[in-house]
Chains A and B, each alone.
Chain A
Amino acid sequence: MRESQSLAAEPHGPPVAEEFEREPVPPRALKGAKSFWGMYAGEHAAGTEFMIGPLFLLAGVSLYDIVLGLLLGNFLAVLSWRYLCAPIAVHARLTLYYQLEKIAGTGLVKIYNLANGILFCFLAGAMITVSATAVGVPFGLPMPSFDAIYPESVAFVVAVLVVGAVIAVVAGFGYDTVSRFANVAVPWMVLVFFACGVVALKELGVDSWAGLVAVWTESIDFAQGNGGGVQTMGFWSVVLFAWFCNSAMHLGMSDLSIFRYAKKASYGWATAGGMYVGHYMAWIAAAFMLAAQIKVAQSAVPLPGPMAYHVTGVAGIICVIIAGWTTANPTIYRAGLAFQGIFPRSSRLSMTLLAGAVATAAAVFPALAFKLLGFVGLYGTILAPVGGIIFADWYLARAAGVEQFPAARTGEKYNLAVLFAWLLPVGVALWLITMHGVTTWYFPLPAWIACAALYLLFRKWTAPAAARP
Chain B
Amino acid sequence: MKTLLKILSALALAIVLVAPFLYLAGALSMAPLQAWLLGATIVWFVCAPPWLWKGNS
Chain A residues within 8 Å of B, Cβ to Cβ = 6, 8-9, 180-181, 183-185, 187-188, 191-192, 194-195, 198-199, 201-202, 312-316, 318
B contact patch SS: helix
Chain A residues near B16: list those with CB within 8 A: 188, 191-192, 195, 315
Q: Smallest CB-CB separation from A319: which chain B residue? A: B41
Q: Which of B20, B38, B49 contacts A198 (CB 8 A)?
A: B20
Q: Smallest CB-CB separation from A313: which chain B residue? A: B34
Chain A residues near B56: list those with CB within 8 A: 6, 8-9, 180, 183-184
B window 36-56: CB within 8 A of A: 37-38, 40-41, 44-45, 48-49, 52-53, 56
Chain B residues near A195: list those with CB within 8 A: 16-17, 19-20, 37
Chain A residues near B48: list those with CB within 8 A: 184, 187-188
Task: State in angstroms the CA–CA spacing of A6 and B52 once bound together.
Answer: 15
Chain B residues near A187: list those with CB within 8 A: 13, 48
Q: Smallest CB-CB separation from A187: which chain B residue? A: B13
Chain B residues near A180: list those with CB within 8 A: 53, 56-57
Q: Which of A8, A181, A315 contacts B41 (CB 8 A)?
A: A315
Is B4 on the interface with A (CB-CB < 8 A)? no
Chain A residues near B40: list those with CB within 8 A: 315
Chain A residues near B12: list those with CB within 8 A: 188
Q: Does the CB pair B17–A315 fall under 8 Å?
A: no
Task: State in angstroms the CA–CA spacing of A314 and B48 once bound together.
Answer: 19
Chain A residues near B34: list those with CB within 8 A: 312-315
Chain A residues near B37: list those with CB within 8 A: 192, 195, 312-313, 315-316
Contacts A9-B57, A315-B34: A198 and B44 contacting too (C-beta < 8 A)? Answer: no
Q: Smallest CB-CB separation from A315: which chain B residue? A: B37
A contact patch SS: helix
Residues 20-36 of chain B, each 1 if its beta carbon lies under 8 Å from chain A, else 0 = 11011000000001110
22 A–B contact pairs at CB < 8 A?
A6-B56, A6-B57, A8-B56, A180-B53, A184-B48, A184-B49, A184-B53, A187-B13, A187-B48, A188-B48, A191-B17, A192-B16, A192-B41, A195-B19, A198-B20, A198-B23, A199-B20, A199-B33, A202-B24, A312-B34, A313-B33, A314-B41
Q: How extensive is the interface on chain B, given as a class?
A: 20 to 34
Task: State in angstroms the CA–CA spacing of A320 and B56 once bound together.
Answer: 23
How far is the CB of B3 from the nearest CB of chain A, in Å? 18
Choose among B16, B17, B49 the residue with the greatest number of A CB atoms under 10 Å from its CB. Answer: B16
Task: State in angstroms the CA–CA spacing of A266 and B41 once bound together.
Answer: 35
Contacts A187-B13, A312-B34: A202 and B53 contacting too (C-beta < 8 A)? Answer: no
Task: State in angstroms the CA–CA spacing of A318 and B42 once bound together.
Answer: 10
How far is the CB of A46 from the nearest CB of chain B, in Å? 18
What 3 A-B pairs have minimum CB-CB distances, sorted nearest first?
Answer: A313-B34, A198-B20, A315-B37
How far is the CB of A186 from the nearest CB of chain B, in Å? 10
Chain B residues near A316: list those with CB within 8 A: 37
How far is the CB of A235 from the nearest CB of chain B, in Å? 28
Task: State in angstroms the CA–CA spacing of A134 and B26 once bound together.
Answer: 28
Q: Does the CB pair B20–A194 fall under 8 Å?
A: yes
Q: Does the CB pair B52–A183 fall under 8 Å?
A: yes
Contacts A195-B20, A198-B21, A202-B23: A184 and B52 contacting too (C-beta < 8 A)? Answer: yes
Task: State in angstroms the CA–CA spacing of A324 and B31 once bound together.
Answer: 25
How far is the CB of A169 from the nearest CB of chain B, in Å? 21
Task: State in angstroms the CA–CA spacing of A314 and B35 once bound together.
Answer: 8
Contacts A199-B33, A315-B40: A184 and B57 contacting too (C-beta < 8 A)? Answer: no
How far is the CB of B53 from the nearest CB of chain A, in Å? 6
Q: Which of A185, A191, A198 contacts B24 (CB 8 A)?
A: A198
How far is the CB of A77 from the nearest CB of chain B, in Å? 26
Task: State in angstroms the CA–CA spacing of A8 and B19 once bound together.
Answer: 29
Q: Smallest CB-CB separation from A186: which chain B residue? A: B52
Task: State in angstroms the CA–CA spacing of A316 and B35 once bound together.
Answer: 11
